[in-house]
């Protein structure tokens, strides 16, 4: 089976730490099929002159192709000018990729778009042109956040009913796709995988020595983009409420985002008790999770977040929010506690309870049904194969 995967969320020379989950998934999927990876790069005339002020400028120097973890990744440019109306991006991406698609006519059996819009929209449109099935994977904010914009909803109401399959990382995300017109029988829920060799149960003291953390601290770790909707400022406010209760409390925030400077400024007011480390390599993220007493993700919207599954794999309890697929994950107190999104007081109290209460890390690792990336890729392969067989059989 010949698969053309396209996504704007993939590592590249300018952003090597982006989306490790797609990199891991594609590495395993490539072992099961002939996989072409198009890591899309936003472009507009003069983009290189904007430097890091725009995503297109920051990535303007990315080469046309790279080898990433053994994968040959092509980087076609897609027209994505700043301030253009988001509802137009689906058409812009489709037009940008059409010449490449026509060259691939007869050389691919299925298109796999790994973000609902505009990537997934373009995958469906190009599949219609080439007469091959398109499968779209949705993972969270591509449905939760973008579909709040009427123009994007209109585009997805056109694209989703034309998908051969939609792969959703959570039941709740999939239900939203069905509400937007996807036939329910074309929905497949496939949770993301975990690198269980990297995110594994190790002695907390050993992990703290590896990252230089004080063994006597009570360590709260967050892993996520530094955005308001990811709960970054809610977390800082909650930590400020509980910090006076115990001088050993410390918060470490891993991730980057558009609000990083503001997060750093706010953290600096908390007496050196908060470390904002930015985006870190995956192995370092694993060490911080292993070093933690708990992992927190107070998002306003989510799919099935990798950060929580990686915490469970390391035997760490979590404090998170009742949004998206998270209630389907944190189903017992063994795994952690949930609060309502944006409820800072409840978040503070939950953080305090979990960080103050000893627990059995090994029990946490056994309380959630984790799957590995090879298992995830095998399920994705089955979905893609079913789409191809259905089209060829029809």
Threshold 0.75, pTM exceeds: yes
Structure confidence at residue 304 (pLDDT): 85
Sign of the Cα pseudo-torsion (368, 374, 380, 385, in order): negative
**pLDDT value at 19 more than 90:** no
289-304: pLDDT as tens digits: 999 999 999 999 888 8
User: Pick from 306, 284, 376: which is nearest to 26 by CA?
Assistant: 376
Distances (CA, A) of 351 to 298, 339, 355: 11, 10, 6
Tell me the percentage of the chain whose pLDDT exceeds 90.
Answer: 83
Assign 17 a pLDDT band (cuts: 50, 70, 90): confident
pLDDT digits (tens, 9 = 90+) for 174-226: 999 999 999 999 999 998 999 999 999 999 999 999 999 999 999 999 999 99
Distance CA 17, CA 10 (A): 9
pLDDT digits (tens, 9 = 90+) for 56-90: 999 999 999 999 999 999 999 999 887 767 888 99
pLDDT over 60 (residue 96)? yes
Q: Looking at per-residue confidence, does 52 or 128 come out higher?
A: 128
CATH tag for 2-193+373-393 (out of 3.30.470.10, 3.40.50.2000, 3.40.50.300, 3.40.1390.30): 3.40.50.2000
Nearest Cα to 12, choosing from 62, 50, 53?
Answer: 62
Same CATH fold, 204-367 and 2-193+373-393? yes
Kindly state the tokens that stand for 270. 């908390």
Q: What is the pLDDT of residue 170?
A: 86
- pLDDT of 145 strictly over 80: no
Average pLDDT over residues 342-355: 98
Instruction: Please give the pLDDT value at position 394.
Output: 55
Query: Where do the structural domains in the chain lie, given as residue ranges?
Result: 2-193+373-393, 204-367
Q: Under DSSP, is residue 217 helix (H, G, I), strand (E, B) or coil?
A: coil
Identify the CATH number of the domain defined by range 204-367: 3.40.50.2000
């Amino acid at each position: 089976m010949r698969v053309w995967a396209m996504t704007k969320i993939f590592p590249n020379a300018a952003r090597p730490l982006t989306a490790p989950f797609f990199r891991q998934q594609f590495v395993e999927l490539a072992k099961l099929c002939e996989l072409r990876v198009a890591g899309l790069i936003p472009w507009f005339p003069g983009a290189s002159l904007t430097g890091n002020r725009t995503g297109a400028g920051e990535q303007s120097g990315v080469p046309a192709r790279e080898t990433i973890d053994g994968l040959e990744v092509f980087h076609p440019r897609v027209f994505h000018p700043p301030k253009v109306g988001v509802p137009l991006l689906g058409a812009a991406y489709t037009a940008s990729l059409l010449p490449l698609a026509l060259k691939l006519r007869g050389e691919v059996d299925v298109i796999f778009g790994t973000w609902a819009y505009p990537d997934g929209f373009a995958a469906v449109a190009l599949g219609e042109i080439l007469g091959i099935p398109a499968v779209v994977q949705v993972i969270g904010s591509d449905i939760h956040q973008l579909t709040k914009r009427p123009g994007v909803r209109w585009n997805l109401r056109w694209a989703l009913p034309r998908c051969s399959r939609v792969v959703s990382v959570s039941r709740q995300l999939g239900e939203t796709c069905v509400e937007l017109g996807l036939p329910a029988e074309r929905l497949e829920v496939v949770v993301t995988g975990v690198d269980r060799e990297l995110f594994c149960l190790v002695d907390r003291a050993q992990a703290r020595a590896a990252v230089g953390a004080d063994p006597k601290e009570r360590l709260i770790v967050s892993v996520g983009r530094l955005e308001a909707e990811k709960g970054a400022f809610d977390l800082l406010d909650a930590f400020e409420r509980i910090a006076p209760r115990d001088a050993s409390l410390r918060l470490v925030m891993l991730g980057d985002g558009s609000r990083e400077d503001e997060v750093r400024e706010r953290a600096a007011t908390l007496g050196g008790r908060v470390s904002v480390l930015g985006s870190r390599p995956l192995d370092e993220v694993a060490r911080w999770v292993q070093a933690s007493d708990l992992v927190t993700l107070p998002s306003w919207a989510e799919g099935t977040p990798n950060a929580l599954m990686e915490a469970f794999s390391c035997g760490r309890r979590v404090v998170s929010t009742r949004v998206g697929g998270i209630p389907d994950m944190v189903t017992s107190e063994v795994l952690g506690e949930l609060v309502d999104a944006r409820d800072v007081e409840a978040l503070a109290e939950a953080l305090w309870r979990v960080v103050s209460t000893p627990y059995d890390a090994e029990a946490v690792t056994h309380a959630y049904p984790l799957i590995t990336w090879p298992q995830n890729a095998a399920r994705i392969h089955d979905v893609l194969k079913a789409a191809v067989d259905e089209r060829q059989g029809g």
